[in-house]
Amino acid sequence: MMTLAQLRARLEHSFSPLACACTVDGEHSLTVKLYHPVSGQVDLVISGLSVDALRTPEAMEALVEELRYELQCNSLNPSNPGLA
């Protein structure tokens, strides 16, 4: 399984120029926050991801694709004009 630092690095590489913060709670639930490193503006926060489910490169790629989809949906949402 990837370490938290490896996971964060993989996500930052995939979503550059965004920065990434990854935290794990006591129940092995992962929260991922993608944000602009200079302004601090948050583009996406996803909580409740299973750390145990991210054991393979395929699972990591699926997470990256899911987060890309969520970012795209957020940027297309007319009620969120700051993300368009």
- Pseudo-torsion of CA 58, 63, 68, 72, nearest 10°? 130
Residue range of the domain that includes 38: 4-76
Nearest to 36 by CA among 21, 49, 46: 21
Q: How confident is the model over 10-38, as pLDDT tens digits?
A: 888 999 999 999 888 888 888 999 999 99
What would the DSSP string read from start to end of 27-70?
A: TSEEEEEEE-TTT--EEEEEEEEESTT--SHHHHHHHHHHHHHH
In a domain, 60, yes or no: yes
In a domain, 83, yes or no: no
Q: Number of folded domains in the chain?
A: 1
In a domain, 34, yes or no: yes
Taking residues 35-45, report their average pLDDT: 93
**Residue 66 confidence class, pLDDT cut points 50, 70, 90:** very high
In a domain, 84, yes or no: no
In a domain, 82, yes or no: no
Distances (CA, A) of 26 to 30, 35, 47, 49, 50: 10, 24, 13, 13, 12
Taking residues 4-8, report their average pLDDT: 81
